[in-house]
Amino acid sequence: MNSMKLTIIALITISFVNIDNYAQRNIYNTADYVLSSPTKNELYKISLGMTSLIDSIIVYKKSSGYNEKISVQYDSNNNIISKLKQEWVNNKWENLKRYLYKYDEKGYNIEYQIENWDNNEWIKNLKLTFSYNVNGDLITRLYEKWDETNWVNYSRETYSYEDSMLVSWVKEKYENDQWVNFYLRTYNYNNQNYMSMQIGKKWVGSKWLNDWKITYTYDDIGNLTVFLLEDWNDSLWINKSKQTYSYDQNNNLILFLFEDWNGALWEYSYKESYSYNPNNKKTMWLREMWDGNQWINYWHGIYTYNTNQNLIEYLFESWDGTQWGNGQRTTYSYDSYGNLISFVGEKWDGYNWISSDVSVYVSDSLGNEFYLYGNQGDLYYHTITGINEIGENRIYFSLSQNYPNPFNPTTTIKYAIPQTVGSKHALTLRLKVYDVLGREVKTLVNKEQAPGEYKVDFNAGDLPSGVYLYRLQAGDNVKVRKMLLLK
């Protein structure tokens, strides 16, 4: 089985609402770490259907008492060029912070800058600069801080690849006018090109020293079954923790077991079990803690969906020793296109539901992502329904966001090949799907195609729920987007 390179793209959004934390985030997890940073902008340049983009979001914050507004601006290619954050103060919106983005001619994000509003002017704060190799892989990320007069180096990260596979990541800090090694991660793969090992090393004195190691084990169809974390004790690897995963016949995760090493034996720590409806949508999760003799209920989550399979309520409960008690709940509303337009957070005070801040992850049709925290939120969109609303009436090399997204189990992917990519003649085009570890799971297109607009259906009936990447390559041009399968 072939594998793509682990392209660095943002992975912080699970559907329009990521309240169930589908993937357990772990600082050692490859998918979490490698895919955690905003770099490439893979937004397509023409609309082959109805697209909704977020214009603004208003969030009401119970904890701080301030209301917050996020306003978004786009360029002619629908790249986000600014996000403005404001607070409602003295009956008007006051500037708080803004985020600025720059792109190269290929649409790759090459600069990201944060500015703070102070004394009626914007003050520079932090800048990230990105560079890429000829394949479009991120190779450097530079962090700089503003010292009131100049940008000053703070840290940088370097990514290395072999045979299109990420093999190392190095972080350096800028100290005493020079770059100093700080941390290193290396990646190994098995014969099926599944990531089999990840090792973290820290720089001590003048050399790299082992810090931790992760070993991955998979079943026959590629589901991760064991995640083993070990620490280095100066001479050998010592077990630290182990995560074990089990799946149902539809490849839905149904059991997650976490164990700690006590020096001689593995000891249970906690486990989580999951249930699904006939549409393979998660309806319940249960966390139980091990008390040394038996499993004890701890947390509980219940999901409710509308007829369109949009999540409309998430209820979180805790165990009081004898029964489940209300904890927190979030309700969601959608427009006719399935866009999230509002959410409300509440907590149980023992007698009634009262307003409470909750965390919500939001994504629009093009995958632009927003993290929100508040007791209520209202989202506003504008729609794009034709090419003329985006730019010139001509074909660009593009890969559209799959529709529907999230999907179960089929979705449609549209793409376009311009004449400028090669010539008037056909060229070999490849469209493949990968999981978040970079493993190829399906080839959708692998043939010569003439310049033009195309679409292909993808059936993921044999794949487990989760985030997948789909990669389009025509000549030297490469586009990658992500999609969410929710069963």
Decide if pLDDT at 30 tops 50: no
18: left (phi over 0), alpha (psi -120 to 50) or beta: beta
Give dist(CA 325, CA 318) in Å, integer: 5
Backbone angles phi, psi at 64, to 5 degrees: -95, -20
CA atoms within 13 A on the CB side of 116: 7
Of 20-24, 384-388, 464-468, least confident by mean pLDDT is 20-24
Q: With bands split at pLDDT 50, 70 and 90, how would you rate the model's confidence at 407?
A: confident
Q: With bands split at pLDDT 50, 70 and 90, how would you rate the model's confidence at 426?
A: low
For range 308-335, the mean pLDDT: 95
Decide if pLDDT at 294 tops 80: yes
Neighbours of 265 (CB within 10 A): 9
Give dist(CA 435, CA 463) in Å, integer: 10
Lookup result for tokens 């020096």: 263
Q: Is 196 exposed, middle or buried (0-12, 13-18, 19+ CB in 10 A)?
A: middle
Q: Give SS3 for 389.
A: helix
Decide if pLDDT at 392 tops 80: no
**Tokens for 4?**
């793509």
Q: With bands split at pLDDT 50, 70 and 90, how would you rate the model's confidence at 396?
A: low
For range 69-87, the mean pLDDT: 93
Q: With bands split at pLDDT 50, 70 and 90, how would you rate the model's confidence at 424?
A: very low
Share of the chain above pLDDT 70, in %: 85
Q: Which domains does the chain have, with CATH numbers?
A: 30-388 (2.40.128.720), 391-485 (2.60.40.1930)
Between 222 and 421, where is the model more confident? 222
Decide if pLDDT at 268 tops 80: yes
What is the DSSP code string of 238-284?
EEEEEEEEEE-TT--EEEEEEEEE-SSSEEEEEEEEEEE-TT--EEE
Q: With bands split at pLDDT 50, 70 and 90, how would you rate the model's confidence at 115?
A: very high
Q: What's the whole-number average pLDDT of the chain?
A: 83
Is residue 334 within 8 Å of 345, Cβ to Cβ?
Answer: no
Of 231-240, 422-431, 434-443, least confident by mean pLDDT is 422-431
Q: What is the pLDDT of residue 428?
A: 74
For range 98-111, the mean pLDDT: 92
Between 58 and 423, where is the model more confident? 58
What global pTM score does this model have?
A: 0.71
Which residues, other chains included, contact 387 with Cβ-Cβ below 8 Å and sequence gap of 6+?
Answer: 46, 47, 393
Decide if pLDDT at 24 tops 50: no
Alpha-carbon torsion (12, 13, 19, 21), positive or negative: negative
Is residue 226 within 8 Å of 216, Cβ to Cβ?
Answer: yes
Decide if pLDDT at 181 tops 90: yes
Decide if pLDDT at 409 tops 70: yes
Is residue 195 within 8 Å of 189, Cβ to Cβ?
Answer: yes
Q: With bands split at pLDDT 50, 70 and 90, how would you rate the model's confidence at 475?
A: low
Q: What is the pLDDT of residue 13?
A: 27
Q: With bands split at pLDDT 50, 70 and 90, how would you rate the model's confidence at 17?
A: very low
Give dist(CA 399, CA 474) in Å, integer: 11
Alpha-carbon torsion, ordered 439, 443, 447, 450, to 10 deg: -100
For range 51-57, the mean pLDDT: 88
